Amino acid sequence: MCNKHVTISRLQNRDNFRHPIYKSGDPNQEGEKGRAVNIDEDRLSPDQKKLYDLGFQTYAFNQYASDLISIHRTLPDVVDRDHTYK
């Protein structure tokens, strides 16, 4: 229980927002601004193709594409500015 409290305290510390996990991503990376990730299976190496197929077989989604998308990507703002809430 004590460790949980320490973890929560650290998460609330403003200095954590300077941690590299909050850094900006590469603007040309896969998935940036919500752009689709297109994979041409014919251009994958045998090792890449194996990973590509394994992701679908194991998790039933395109894990290979998911792994290409950075956690540091930015997403478009999709808030409808015509509707404001009070």
- Tell me the pLDDT tens digit for each residue of 49-76: 999 999 999 999 999 999 998 888 888 8
The maximal CA–CA distance of the chain, rounded, in angstroms, is 55
How far apart (Å, rounded) are the C-alpha atoms in residues 47 and 52?
A: 9
DSSP at 13: -
The Cα–Cα gap between 52 and 62 comes to 7
pLDDT at 19: 54
pLDDT digits (tens, 9 = 90+) for 42-56: 999 999 999 999 999
Token pair recorded at residue 74: 């930015």
For the chain, what are the domain ranges? 25-76
Contact between 56 and 63 (Cβ < 8 Å): yes
Tokens of 78: 């999709």
